[in-house]
């Protein structure tokens, strides 16, 4: 019986396997644990560097036929993939909730975004891919965007479906084939659901390979001669290593990394709305988002009110298993991540921060936390926490707010809340950032926008909208003459 003869999300399809020219038994396997309970969800194959070499070679061999496929057929595959996700929303929601520890509405956001990304990819197939250039002597001269060949995608655990498919879909749409390495903590929602969707949608064999694996698999992708580009999303530390290794092998590399995002609340802001924005930005998906509100900069005139409101929200937000309870926050992805978050909180308190709420945990469930009297030099000010921690910093005027906001190497997302849009924009223009939200918090994304950061948050690359053409293709100059000229030699 083939994979397509089984229920769409039957775990037997991928049990102990890789998606390598189809479902193939792996030499080694890994149990995938539910972060809320520690229960075993499934088993998947774990790839090796040798698997990368095989996958990349097969993907390169398949690329020419894929890019030559009539555009209507290619576009239809993306539209069908979107329809499959809509059909399988209920089952996929359960997988996202249980594998990532998120609440169901967050899973809904991932699925909605994935559908939008696939429709955007279908549209790319028929978008103009070049431009005419002026030329003398009767010669036709134009520049066109051509695919790199094989794109390697390395994605993280926090929004695994979105952060994989946002690279996979446009890379395929413009004619590349893809080798995808999802995070080994979330290989189903970050990889195998995508493999199943494209498999059923009719993507030709070998155009997508999915290889869960450890760091050595990512390193092999960065070094493999058949992979022309790496699209990496993850921590800044890992991104530096990826960028260095990919650069050594002269690959194009796009890095979307961490963030220590600032939300600035000016003294004329509505305190209730501002506190709501701050809590959402800090606590959504347990703070495990690159765009999470990492530092809340509040004017000293309203800081006490904002803090009281944040403490009230943190105290009353329910925490628990999102698969079985109505909760606002689920578990952190692992015990290791919980220990890191708690270590940052404890160290910051020792450095002078005041614990106003939270700071405790049961299992992987970390209570929403509020730290006040936060200052530069404290871990909660300087480091990306990736946990449900709201760090409140007071400022006395706009110059101090700008100075505090700029006291970071990161540059992903910035929010400014004020009754005056002009005042907010003037302040924001003094703070380098990849994403800017006036009168909103720092977490936002849409399928058609160019998403990414600067500094320690990324190397200037973007995902989404027009940026997909820039990242997943390269320019080729073409000239055409009616006949070859005679030169003096």
Active site residues: 256, 290
Structure tokens at 470: 């820039």
Q: Which residues pair with 29 in a beta bridge?
A: 45
Q: Are 184 and 214 in contact (CB under 8 A)?
A: yes
Task: Tell me if residue 144 falls in helix, strand or coil.
Answer: strand
What are the b/e assignments for 388-421, b being 16+ CB within 10 Å?
A: bbbbbbbbeebeebbebbeebebbbbbbbbbeee
Task: Tell me if residue 406 falls in helix, strand or coil.
Answer: coil
Sheet holding 130-133, edge to edge: 130-133, 140-147, 473-480
Q: Tokens 């700029």 label which residue? A: 406
**Using alpha carbons only, what angle is made at residue 425 by residues 421 and 431, rounded to the nearest 5 degrees?**
150
DSSP state of 229: E
Q: Tokens 């404290």 label which residue? A: 378
Q: Are 173 and 78 in contact (CB under 8 A)?
A: yes
Quick one: angle between helices 71-87 and 89-100, nearest 10? 70
Strands (E), 2-101: 17-19, 23-25, 28-33, 40-46
């Amino acid at each position: 019986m083939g994979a397509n003869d089984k229920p769409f999300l039957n775990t037997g399809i991928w049990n102990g396997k890789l998606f390598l020219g189809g479902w193939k038994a792996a030499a080694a396997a890994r149990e995938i644990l539910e972060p809320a309970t520690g229960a075993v969800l499934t088993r998947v194959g774990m790839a090796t560097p040798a698997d990368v070499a095989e996958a990349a070679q097969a993907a390169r061999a398949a690329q020419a036929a894929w890019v030559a496929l009539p555009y209507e057929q290619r576009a239809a595959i993306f539209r069908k993939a979107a329809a499959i996700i809509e059909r399988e929303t209920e089952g996929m929601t359960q997988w996202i909730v249980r594998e990532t520890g998120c609440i169901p509405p967050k899973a809904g956001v991932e699925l909605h975004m994935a559908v939008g990304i696939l429709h955007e990819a279908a549209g790319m197939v028929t978008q103009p891919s070049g431009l005419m250039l002026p030329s003398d002597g009767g010669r036709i001269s134009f520049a066109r965007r051509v695919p790199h060949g094989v794109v390697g995608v390395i994605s993280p655990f926090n929004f695994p479906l979105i952060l994989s498919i946002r690279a996979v879909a446009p890379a395929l749409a413009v004619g590349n084939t893809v080798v995808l390495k999802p995070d080994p903590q979330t290989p189903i929602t970050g990889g195998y659901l995508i493999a199943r969707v494209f498999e059923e949608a009719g993507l030709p064999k070998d155009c997508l390979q999915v290889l869960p694996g450890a760091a050595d698999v990512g390193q092999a992708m960065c070094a493999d001669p058949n992979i022309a580009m790496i699209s990496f999303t993850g921590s800044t530390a890992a991104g530096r290593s990826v960028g260095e290794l990919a650069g050594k092998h002269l690959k194009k590399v796009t890095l979307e990394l961490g963030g220590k995002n600032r939300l600035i609340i000016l003294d004329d802001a509505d305190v209730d709305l501002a506190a709501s924005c701050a809590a959402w930005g800090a606590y959504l998906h347990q703070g495990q988002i690159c765009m999470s509100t990492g530092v809340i900069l509040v004017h000293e005139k309203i800081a006490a009110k904002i803090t009281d409101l944040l403490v009230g929200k943190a105290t009353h937000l329910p925490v628990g298993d999102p698969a079985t309870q109505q909760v606002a926050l689920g578990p952190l992805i692992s015990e290791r991540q919980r220990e890191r978050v708690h270590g940052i909180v404890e160290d910051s308190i020792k450095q002078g921060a005041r614990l106003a709420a939270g700071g405790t945990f049961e299992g992987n469930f970390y209570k929403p936390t509020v730290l006040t009297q936060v200052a530069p030099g404290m871990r909660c000010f300087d480091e990306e926490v990736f946990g449900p921690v709201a760090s409140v910093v007071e400022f006395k005027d706009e110059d101090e707010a700008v100075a505090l906001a700029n006291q970071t190497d990161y540059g992903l997302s910035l929010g400014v809340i004020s009754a005056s849009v002009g005042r907010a924009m003037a302040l924001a223009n003094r703070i380098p950032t990849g994403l800017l939200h006036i009168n909103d918090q720092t977490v936002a994304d849409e399928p058609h926008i160019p998403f990414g950061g600067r500094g320690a948050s990324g190397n200037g690359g973007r995902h989404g909208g027009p940026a997909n053409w820039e990242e997943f293709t390269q320019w080729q100059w073409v000239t055409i003459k009616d006949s070859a000229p005679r030169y003096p030699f």
